[in-house]
Amino acid sequence: MSVTIKKIAKDLDLAVSTVSKALRDSHEISAETKARVFEHAAKLDYIPNPYASSLKKGRSGNIAVVLPEVADSFFSAAINGIDSVAHEKGYHTMVYLTHEDIQREQSIVREFRNGRVDGVLMSIVANNAKYEHLRELCASDVPLVFFDRVCEEIPTASVITNDFESGYIAAQHLIEKGCKYIVFLSMPGELAIIKHRQNGYQQALQDHGMQPCIIYCTDSEDENIAILDKLLTGENKPDGIIGSIEKITIPVYTVCHSRNIPIPSAIKIIAFSHLQIAALLNPPLTTIAQPAFEMGKAAATILFKTLAKKYDLKDEKIVIPSVLMMRASTHTD
């Protein structure tokens, strides 16, 4: 490569160091000189790409965060946790959204294998059992750390919360508040976090001699409203609801409000949610709040330790506990 730089320098009658700096987009070099260098480099088919030098150094200066969505207070807080570490390390954080679409996830992840990013932090899409793209990434030189929505079949580091225990605690809280028929609002698919929460709920009900009931919601708010409307106005109404993901909260409250079902006297509600605004809802919502910022921060910290070659990612599994925030939606009258 230096042959090309020497040639550019000779052709343009510039010092090699000047050309090199210009190609690295150094602020020491004037815009005019840079323009001449870039133009001539293009003629010689030399790629004046900031990635080129960063690749040689083995560093792009970027980490990627791959998420299903950002319209979720958990993920937006987790990004801030990740970015707080990345910024300190002099890296940029690029966020990619999969919109719960496995094809988008595959396409995004396959971009990462050749040095576009130095590391990847990821929460996988729901409702999917295809992991080949994750295996490929894991087998490449680009380190991968899962947070929250992990793929348990891929041997790499992960940062999770205590989902089984939290599901148990949520159910136990409703049982203690006198609920006799507690429904768990789940999502179809393979997502480990939902399964663990659901298993915790089932265990709690079993320990109290109660019958579990799982209702599956969808990605569509309208469909969820229809499902919940049927549930809450039908013959066999629950007196307790556990929402396993944040996006189910709005449909539950919307149906209770529109059908004049009083919370908490007719039904008590607890949701897995990091929503800061939960305390201002009518009534304030009891939540199992995941430590979103801390999980993001921990995941980024592991990644940067790996980038500094101090870590074997396979060995690393961090569990940060969630917190039950009791509010009026589960009060006893």
Binding residues for a copy of itself, rule: CB under 8 A, are 1-2, 25, 45, 47-52, 55-56, 61, 69-71, 73, 75-77, 79-80, 83, 87, 92-97, 99, 104, 107-108, 110-111, 113-116, 249-250, 253-254, 257, 275-277, 279-284
CB of 163 to a copy of itself, least distance (A): 23
Q: How far is the CB of 117 from a copy of itself (least distance, A)?
A: 10
Q: Which is nearer to a copy of itself, 125 or 205 (CB)?
A: 125
Distance CA 221, CA 204 (A): 29
CB 92 within 8 A of CB 62: yes
Contact yes or no for 261/186 (Cβ under 8 A): no
* Least Cβ distance, residue 235 to a copy of itself (angstroms): 27
Q: Which is nearer to a copy of itself, 34 or 197 (CB)?
A: 34
- Phi first, then psi: give them for residue 321, nearest 5 degrees: -70, 150
Q: Please, are residues 284 and 329 in contact by the beta-carbon 8 Å criterion? A: yes
CA distance 270 to 249: 9
176: tokens are 């203690």
- The radius of gyration computed from the CA coordinates of the chain, to the nearest angstrom, equals 25
Q: Output 114 or 233, the one with its CB closest to a copy of itself.
A: 114
Specify the residue, 41 or 159, whose C-beta has the smaller distance to a copy of itself. Answer: 41
Q: Let me know: does 316 contact 157? Beta carbons within 8 Å.
A: yes
- Three-state secondary-structure class, residue 186: strand
To a copy of itself, the closest distance from the beta carbon of 189 in angstroms equals 21
Q: How far is the CB of 249 from a copy of itself (least distance, A)?
A: 8
Token pair listed for 112: 């990462």
Least separation in angstroms between residue 146's CB and a copy of itself is: 19
CB of 214 vs a copy of itself, minimal distance in Å: 25
Q: What are 96's strand-pairing partners?
A: 66
d(CA 63, CA 280): 35
Q: Which of 294, 299, 289 is nearest to 158 (CA)?
A: 299
Residue 58 or 188: the one with the smaller Cβ distance to a copy of itself is 58
d(CA 257, CA 165): 30
CA distances from 105 to 69, 123, 132, 137, 175 (A): 12, 10, 11, 12, 39
Rounded least distance, CB 50 to a copy of itself, Å? 5
Closer CB to a copy of itself, residue 77 or residue 171? 77
Judged by beta carbon, residue 23 or residue 169, the one nearer a copy of itself is: 23
- Output 101 or 316, the one with its CB closest to a copy of itself: 101
